[in-house]
Chains A and B, each alone.
Chain A
Amino acid sequence: MIREYKTITEVVSPLMVVSGVVGVTYDELAEIELPNGDVRRCRVLEVDGDTAVVQLFESAQGINLAESKVRFLGHPLELAVSGDMLGRVFSGMGSPIDGGPAIIPEERLDINGLPMNPAARDYPNEFIQTGISTIDGLNTLVRGQKLPIFSGSGLPHASLAAQIARQAKVLGGGADNFAVVFAAIGITFEESEYFVREFRRTGAIERSVIFSNLASDPAVERIATPRMALTAAEYLAFERDMHVLVILTDITNYAEALREISAAKKEVPGRRGYPGYLYTDLATMYERAGRRIGKAGSITMIPILTMPEDDKTHPIPDLTGYITEGQIILSRDLYRKGVLPPVDVLPSLSRLKDKGIGEGKTREDHSGTMNQLFAAYSSGKEAKELMTILGESALTPTDLLLAKFADEFEKQYVTQSTEENRSIEETLEIGWRLLSILPKSELKRIKPEIIEKYLPKT
């Protein structure tokens, strides 16, 4: 039953109050029809007796209290899904914008999804080779992981994400059931077009679904965009058995849209004005990544966010880091030094790496060398700091070697061109070559028999 009301009593964008309603339920989708025939969508945030508080997904401009009609549709916001979505471009609210025909839906899915049963999850442990040393070697990505990129304004996160999307593959696995779901959340046309061109150039566009909410599109629509993308990804992964890589950019814009609505609702703000439920809200998106027991497909997620003022403790990166399984942090210092991609390996982390590496997955020496590289780079950086204050002469012989190691590590290991696709063996070999700079007694994190087998003999 569709009920139509002409009883809008208040509009304070993006909220609207409709009175005298009957049978309206929480989270229901509604449409407003303007006198000029425009139709805009909105959803119910609160019902109190016969009054409904409704949140608009688009601008409130032109809404007339007396003449506009509100229709409650009796179901939450849904996305029509089908296998034909591949290769198509949609708006942030899920309507096709590439001039192609509408999708003939196989199913209509609630974009909020349902929580995944922890007892039905399959632990992600399949190594994905991205061809990027700092990720494969040190912060290994596995299928079904959610690994965000923490970036700053002006840093090359887009090219890093595009390189991952282009090169990612599972060793020995077929590549034919691979798909990319890309959600542009409030980013500029240029940034979004960069990704679309990249996908086109490499042919990945045929296997991509793109949801696009650009900076010029309504901010409140951004609340729906990532969920649209994830609903499409869930359908492809768990109904169509595909391995889906989801790229969401930029989460910071999403959180700001959420803050805008929260402020309009006059909620008690948490840190920096963001709502207290930001953690839960972000979690309901990020947690949709993963694998399920008995399903062939998977969702691997790379959300990108720009840290305001490069501050990792800002609520958006902070809460994201508490939910995601690690983070890749880009550093402005490295970028200035010309180290590209500027991955700051020490604070970067992949929580799932330990189950995805080692014998049978990558190589037996992976875990030990990884820890050793981290430890040596960390001590090397400390030694370099000391050197700037006290000069080279104050350093012990070992410290000097460590400092040299740190420099070479940035030059040879971190630095790599956007077209360079290193195999995991190449990455490990570079690692060993660098470790051979150091005296053997410093290699405490690696088992003696592994050192014996792999350390280049000079």
Chain B
Amino acid sequence: MSGKITKVSGPLVVADGLSDANISDVVRVGAQGLVGEVLTMTGDKASIQVYEETSGIGPGAEVVTTGSPLSVELGPGLLENIYDGIQRPLPEIRKISGSTIARGISVPALSREKKWEFTAKAEVGDNVSGGDILGTVQETPAVLHKIMVPPNVSGTVTELHSGEFTVADTIGYLETEDGEKVPLTLMQKWAVRVPRPYRRKFMPEKPLCSGQRIIDTCFPLAKGGTAAVPGPFGSGKTVVQHQLAKWSDVDIVVYIGCGERGNEMTDVLMEFPELTDPKTGEPLMKRTVLIANTSDMPVAAREASIYTGITIAEYYRDMGYDVAIIADSTSRWAEALREMSGRLEEMPGEEGYPAYLSSRLAQFYERAGVTECMGSDRRRGSLTAIGAVSPPGGDTSEPVSQATMRIVKVFWGLDSSLAYARHFPAINWLNSYSLYLDTLAPWYNETYGDGFMLSRSRAMSILQEEAELQEVVKLVGADSLSATDRVTLEVAKMLREDFLQQNAFDELDSYSSYEKQAALLALILSYEKYCREAVSGGLSDVQKLFGVDAREKIGRAKSVTQDKFASAYAEIDREMKLQIADAAGK
């Protein structure tokens, strides 16, 4: 089925003679075969968004529909790869067109040459349905790839072989109830705009440990939850996202660079193979899939990149893994949506964004969750979605931030004034929040005892008190405060500098285990306790308390290694107790 172009306006192309095409079908445009997708149909006229630059395309050029919607290939070979917004492998494109991306290149997403060692787990005669595991492939040393029956297929296995196969080879056959013989392969296809099915969803109950103190201790994210990181430029959004991609205790990370800098993707590509996953001991790249639609790449593919990413993430979730998808930045995705909407001459909503902006955002985040996967073994997987938001001028009253905040449960608000003072991560502890605290509390209490949550609330209230006291200090100076208040200020300063601040570029400080976080927080609070005791014992010159030697040691306590921190912190605590007692003159 082919039609002819009648109009070209940037990435939007209108063609007639396409009465057979379906909405959302992928089409090939012009002699170069540029990839596009049908957005609307009027009679036999189709409006098409083209995922590549349309210069040189004019009326009369041919448009051919492929008859199927935008889909991704799912199978072994996804990990360690980097794709563009419509799942074309960028390293392969580089082999064809060099340093730049030429138009109309068509490369399969999964290599058709590479052979994988498949170990069959199902047996001939087994009755299987969608999601059941046929066998496994060791995709990378870190990840065992489970080959599943595609979601909408069921029947009896009539043939299944272990051995070396490419993703396109037939590994066996399945006979459906109607007697139809379905060939099985290592690869399956799935339309990106349709969420992959699961049996049911559960409430998220386990935290996602990111090794970042302000996140794990103050504003935790649950596995299967949703979070947003809004912030003006220069406030460290990307570093926060990279840290989450590096250290989250999940099995798979899908990182989408959506309309962001090319060098950031290069950074991930160069750094991740060098870093070791604390969980598996393998390079982090072995569990990572990258999707890159950098800001100079065509804008229409930006809209698709988010869906490409989350579909791949769902596929690994279906294997029963904990998956995190990190999208930097959803604002660029929304802008791509706005640009296409403008070209379609739709009536704009707020700030030119289409009226369906918030429903699209909600649909994206709703694909996250803890799920019981398809398949008879009732395994559970989780998909955690984290999106960066880049509000213009850092003002979160704009539509994308507002629509996102209505959906997500965790909000890590980045603050430029903190970034200017080089307080990183620049997450503002006063206006950030996590709505998972209640659902996660049982887990914390069970794992680390009641103390952890108590310490956390104590620390948060000290920080809150500090903000109020600062107002007073600005008017009358710190001298006029009572000794108790001055202790509060000092402890708050320690919490900010010695606990919340974390250097992503420091080898020892970049990742902090839960145990170490809890111990460090306890150490600071124990300093508070000794100081308060001294003050209530009648000490008035608080400066003496702040000058004790152990105080400086707390300042350096972050960089104590994981194997030594317990004894080192206990030692500091002991010294501190003596020194403070000494200062108080007892």
Contact = CB atoms under 8 A, between A and B. Distances in A.
B107 interface: no
Contacts of B348: 268
Given A76-B55, A121-B263, A390 B477 contact: yes
Contacts of B332: 279
A284 B296 contact: yes
B178 interface: no
Interface in A384-438: 386, 389-390, 394-396
Interface stretch (A10-18, A247-255, A373-381): A373-381
Given A25-B56, A238-B99, A390 B266 contact: no
Interface string A284-317: 1011101011110000000000000000111100
Contacts of B266: 118-119, 121-123
B30 to A, nearest CB: 9
11 contacts: A26-B9, A115-B101, A115-B296, A117-B97, A119-B91, A121-B263, A123-B263, A124-B263, A279-B259, A283-B295, A386-B477
Interface string B470-501: 00011111110000000000000000010000
B421 A379 contact: yes
A182 B473 CA distance: 51
Contacts of B54: 26-27
Interface string B241-255: 000000000000000
A406 to B, nearest CB: 13
Interface string B336-358: 00110010000010011000000
B94 interface: yes
B556 interface: yes
B478 A271 contact: no
B262 interface: yes
Nearest to A45: B9
A346 B420 CA distance: 5
A371 B422 contact: yes
B352 A269 contact: yes
A276 B262 contact: no
Contacts of A238: 99
A287 B9 contact: no
B257 A118 contact: yes
A117 B266 CA distance: 10
B74 interface: no
Given A287-B296, A444-B555, A120 B339 contact: no
Contacts of A395: 477
A284 B53 CA distance: 12
Contacts of B352: 268-270, 276
Interface stretch (A33-41, A207-215, A217-225, A323-331): A323-331
Nearest to B82: A119
Contact of A276 (B267, B298, B338, B419): B338
B117 interface: no
A119 B263 contact: no
Interface stretch (A98-106, A127-135, A186-194, A347-355): A347-355
B58 A23 contact: yes
Interface string A332-352: 000000000000001101011
A393 to B, nearest CB: 8
B292 interface: yes
Contacts of B390: 322
Contact of A378 (B297, B299, B420): B420
- Chain A: number of interface residues, binned into ranges: 35 or more
B51 to A, nearest CB: 12
B264 to A, nearest CB: 9
Contacts of B91: 119
A103 to B, nearest CB: 23
Contacts of A28: 55-56, 58
A50 B59 contact: yes
Given A277-B339, A322-B390, 15 more contacts: A25-B8, A45-B9, A116-B262, A118-B294, A267-B342, A268-B348, A284-B295, A287-B295, A313-B393, A315-B392, A321-B233, A374-B422, A375-B421, A375-B422, A389-B475
Interface in A172-186: none
A309 B97 CA distance: 45
Contacts of A62: none
Contacts of A313: 232, 392-395
Interface string B541-561: 001000000011001100000
B56 A76 contact: yes
B8 A116 contact: no
A312 B419 CA distance: 15
A280 B421 contact: no
A119 B269 CA distance: 8
A120 B99 contact: yes
A444 B6 contact: no
Contact of A115 (B7, B56, B57, B294): B294
A270 B90 CA distance: 32
B7 A47 contact: yes
**8 closest pairs, A vs B, by CB?**
A313-B393, A394-B477, A283-B295, A27-B55, A25-B58, A287-B296, A321-B233, A114-B100
Nearest to A349: B234
B261 interface: yes
A274 to B, nearest CB: 10
Contact of B57 (A26, A49, A351): A26
A126 to B, nearest CB: 13
B33 to A, nearest CB: 16
Interface string B497-516: 10000010100000000000
B428 to A, nearest CB: 16
A120 B267 contact: no
B39 interface: no
Contacts of A290: 262-263
Contact of A325 (B261, B342, B419, B543): B261
A112 interface: yes
A287 B262 contact: yes
Nearest to A378: B421
Contacts of A50: 59
A367 interface: yes
A42 interface: no
Nearest to B299: A280
A264 to B, nearest CB: 15
A46 interface: yes
Given A25-B57, A313-B394, A280 B233 contact: no
Contacts of A216: none
B482 to A, nearest CB: 16
A318 interface: yes
Contacts of A315: 392
A76 to B, nearest CB: 6
A120 B296 contact: no
A292 B266 CA distance: 11
B217 interface: no
A444 B503 CA distance: 12
Interface in A14-71: 22-28, 45-50
Interface in B4-33: 6-10, 14
A154 interface: no
Contact of B267 (A117, A123, A269): A123
Contacts of B395: 313
B98 interface: yes
Interface in B384-403: 390, 392-395
A360 interface: no
A350 B257 CA distance: 20
Given A115-B298, A283-B295, A293 B99 contact: yes
Nearest to B329: A322
Contacts of B90: 117-120
Contacts of A294: 99
